[in-house]
Chains A and B, each alone.
Chain A
Amino acid sequence: MKSLLEALKNGKVLVSDGAWGTLLHKRGLQIGECPELWNITHRSDVSAIAKSYIDAGADVILTNSFGGSPEKLRHYGLQDRCTELNEAAADISRSAAGHDYFVLGSMGPTGVILMMEEVSEEALYSEFCIQAEALKRGGVDAICIETMSAIDEACLAIRAARESTGLEVVCTFTFEKTVSGEYRTMMGVSPAEMVQAVKEAGASVIGSNCGNGLEQMIDVVREIRKIDRTTPVLIHANAGKPVLRDGKTCFLETPELMASKVKDLIKSGANIIGGCCGTTPEHIRALAKVVKR
């Protein structure tokens, strides 16, 4: 099978998956429960989610390992099971995808703020290595470091993933619109600053996930494309901003609404398009229809 980068040559646009957490909760994951533990205790549920995105038309799926860093697992006392949980996450997605589709191993932020000097760079680096190696052993094609907001943590994770696995690395940041209308992460990083730093650290696909609906993501891609016209860009957009209705959290952007903006997102320069919080296989099916037309 081709590598992710080869598959993107000649301007081909790939479809990625949607939210995992949203679907895990629908299947009974309780608030406060460790989602990654489900790779062992509820394997068939996790597997069904992976399959549902393949069936919806995704060319690329991720893994149920977003919070699978030892640092995050420590909250549940599961840090010693990091390898087991991540390997299982990768294996589940690989089995669902077969060898015709791409599997990206998801690695989210640790919640550690390096500049506060409570955890050393060396310690965090080796923890990222453990997670990345386990994802590789489980069969992922590439690593996806996502929802990042700080340059130092993102670059550390990229280097750890590159150096411990040799796989291609995707890195996406989460931006918010500031009062002056610019996009910044909570740590103050602009799309342009992200591009330069993560490419230097070794990411070969860049982009943005979470925080925004598809419409704002068009702005973010434009910002990225102002300074980089060639590096593939991955976008995982939320189904809008969540609202509370009758005591339940709802995302209001429908599959049709998201699909209606996909052409503009591609025009702005996105190469891999999928969803984040609140998106479902129905959203991905609608996106795929437009992309593959």
Chain B
Amino acid sequence: MSELIERIGICVERGKVNKNSPFPNDMKGLDGSDELTRQALDAGIRPDEILQACNTGMQRIGERFSKNEVFVPELLMAAKAMHAVMAHLKPFFKSGSVKAKGKFVLGTVAGDLHDIGKNLVAMVVEGNGWEVIDLGVDVKSVKFLDAIKAHPGCTVGLSALLTTTMTNMSKTVQEIKASYPSTNVIVGGAPLTMDSAIKMGADGYSSDPQGAVAFLSKMSTIG
């Protein structure tokens, strides 16, 4: 049994979606996270155990991404493999037998249409067990405020790629803090540094998706 779970974790880490998927090269023809999850559920393995294995796999690939050992393609494939698992687990989330660790509201700030970085963060955070509320790109402050209202206790993530939209990011952080001072905000994106994040009043900064997971974990233990 535990071998099946372990293999699901490996499929997520390596981005092996299903038997027909050609990626990664050395796992061609083997069952992927899709088939293995079905088999695990049929064998009576608990969905939360499967989810735990996925979280571990996603965490491992996220850490390797932080260390620049793998790049965007590997992370995208891992997320795809994770999604294949989630498709099987969805009914258990709905029934409440599996629960997310918390809620993460995420979006690219107003004026910025870039979504690749934001999507990577969404995938990794979700893969690590959080529920992600993705507001998309070009998100005005008011939309963030509405989402915080709708999802009490959430943490907020802001993304920007353009150097010109860093100023909008700064305004959004301030508006969130003015209305919801206890809501934690983390920012990220190519033009940012820890220094600029602190200056705009954010609670956290990360240059990579796994850093966002670390921030969420830290915040949830502090409570």
CB B202 to nearest CB in A, in angstroms, measures 11
Find out whether the CB atom of B200 lies under 8 angstroms from the CB atom of A180: no
Residue A1, interface by CB 8 Å:
no
A244 — which chain B residues lie within 8 A by C-beta? 166-167, 170, 195-196, 199-200
Q: Enumerate B78-125 residues with CB–CB distance to A below 8 Å.
A: 80, 110-116
**Which residue of chain B lies nearest to A24 when distances are taken between CB atoms in the complex?**
B164
Residue A242, interface by CB 8 Å:
yes
Find out whether the CB atom of A187 lies under 8 angstroms from the CB atom of B71: yes
- Known contacts: A113-B72, A178-B68. The answer to whether A32 contacts B138 by CB under 8 A is yes
**Which residue of chain B lies nearest to A178 when distances are taken between CB atoms in the complex?**
B68
Find out whether the CB atom of A188 lies under 8 angstroms from the CB atom of B111: no
Find out whether the CB atom of A249 lies under 8 angstroms from the CB atom of B191: yes
B67 — which chain A residues lie within 8 A by C-beta? 179
A186 and B72 CA atoms in complex are apart in Å by 6
CB B69 to nearest CB in A, in angstroms, measures 9
Residue B179, interface by CB 8 Å:
no
Residue B163, interface by CB 8 Å:
yes
Q: Enumerate A240-284 residues with CB–CB distance to B below 8 Å.
A: 241-244, 247-249, 251, 277-278
A99 — which chain B residues lie within 8 A by C-beta? none
Residue B73, interface by CB 8 Å:
yes
Indicate with 1 or 0, residue by residue over A175-214, a CB within 8 angstroms of chain B CB atoms: 0001110101111100000000000000000000000000
B68 — which chain A residues lie within 8 A by C-beta? 178-180, 182, 184
Find out whether the CB atom of A115 lies under 8 angstroms from the CB atom of B196: no
Q: Enumerate A39-84 residues with CB–CB distance to B below 8 Å.
A: 75
Indicate with 1 or 0, residue by residue over B163-177, a CB within 8 angstroms of chain A CB atoms: 111111010000000
Residue A123, interface by CB 8 Å:
no
B164 — which chain A residues lie within 8 A by C-beta? 21, 25, 31, 249
Contact of B76 among A32, A116, A149, A248 (CB under 8 A): A116
**Which residue of chain B lies nearest to A149 when distances are taken between CB atoms in the complex?**
B72
Find out whether the CB atom of A32 lies under 8 angstroms from the CB atom of B70: no
CB A21 to nearest CB in B, in angstroms, measures 7
A115 — which chain B residues lie within 8 A by C-beta? 73, 76-77
Find out whether the CB atom of B166 lies under 8 angstroms from the CB atom of A249: yes
A61 and B87 CA atoms in complex are apart in Å by 50
Residue A11, interface by CB 8 Å:
no
B167 — which chain A residues lie within 8 A by C-beta? 31, 244, 247-249
A186 and B199 CA atoms in complex are apart in Å by 27
Where the two chains meet, the residues of A that have a C-beta atom closer than 8 Å to any C-beta of B are 21, 25, 30-32, 75, 111, 113, 115-116, 149, 178-180, 182, 184-188, 241-244, 247-249, 251, 277-278
Where the two chains meet, the residues of B that have a C-beta atom closer than 8 Å to any C-beta of A are 67-68, 70-74, 76-77, 80, 110-116, 138, 162-168, 170, 191, 193, 195-196, 199-200
Top-8 shortest CB links A-B: A188-B71, A31-B111, A178-B68, A32-B111, A244-B196, A242-B163, A249-B163, A242-B191
- What 8 new A-B contacts, CB under 8 Å, besides A31-B165, A32-B138, A185-B71? A31-B167, A111-B113, A111-B114, A115-B73, A149-B72, A187-B73, A244-B170, A249-B166
